[in-house]
Amino acid sequence: MGSSSGQSSGSYDLSFKILLIGDSGVGKSSLLVSFISASAGDLAPTIGVDFKIKFLTVGGKRLKLTIWDTAGQERFRTLTSSYYRGAQGIILVYDIARRETFTNLSTVWAKEVELYSTNRDCVKMLVGNKVDRDSERAVSREEGMDLAKELRCMFLECSAKTRKNVEQCFEGLALKVYFCDSKFARQPFNQCNTKYSWL
């Protein structure tokens, strides 16, 4: 699977909407910037919503990913709820060094997905960010995998700072969305026959 620069334009075969959700400060914007531009410095908190576009080529098909970065602060919840509509992929992000951000995935964010998502076939991925701070880890990899299984999500740990697994995060989700799309359900290579996918 190849990828082009974040802001390139041109024709494409399919367009997918992907959301990044999770508490403020878990590194959602940094993950997105790292994926788009191959770097992630210090970023100001997202106000409301922001989005970026990335093009990928999968199996000869050119995909346009519109990736929405939502604010984690509670005061923006009603503003961001409308952006769940029509999303084919949702990435739930937590900080492996901040236990409460992990707990809030099940007590807050997973409930919001269930409440606001309009796509019953939406592909979800649980992402533990900031593995570069492993010495400060407050959530084990096993706990992350267990919650992902409970929520029926894909699972990955990564670091926006070092870029470890960043491309695998977005490209893995895009690939799953691509093969789970109803347009491709009859194709021989169908990855939707499993509930979970561990990257």
**Domain residue limits, the chain:** 2-186
CB proximity list for 153: less than 8 A, separation 6 or greater: 92, 124, 125, 126, 147, 196
> Regarding predicted confidence, which is higher, 194 or 81?
81
> Regarding predicted confidence, which is higher, 194 or 56?
56
pLDDT at 36: 83
CA angle 141, 171, 48 (to 5 degrees): 80
pLDDT at 52: 87
Nearest to 91 by CA among 185, 15, 176: 176
pLDDT at 69: 87
> Regarding predicted confidence, which is higher, 139 or 51?
139
- CATH classification for the domain delimited by 2-186, as one of 4.10.490.10, 3.40.50.2000, 3.40.50.300, 3.40.720.10: 3.40.50.300
Q: pLDDT over 90 for what percent of the chain?
A: 49
Pairing state between β 2-3 and 61-70:
unpaired
Between CA 167 and CA 14 the distance in angstroms is 19
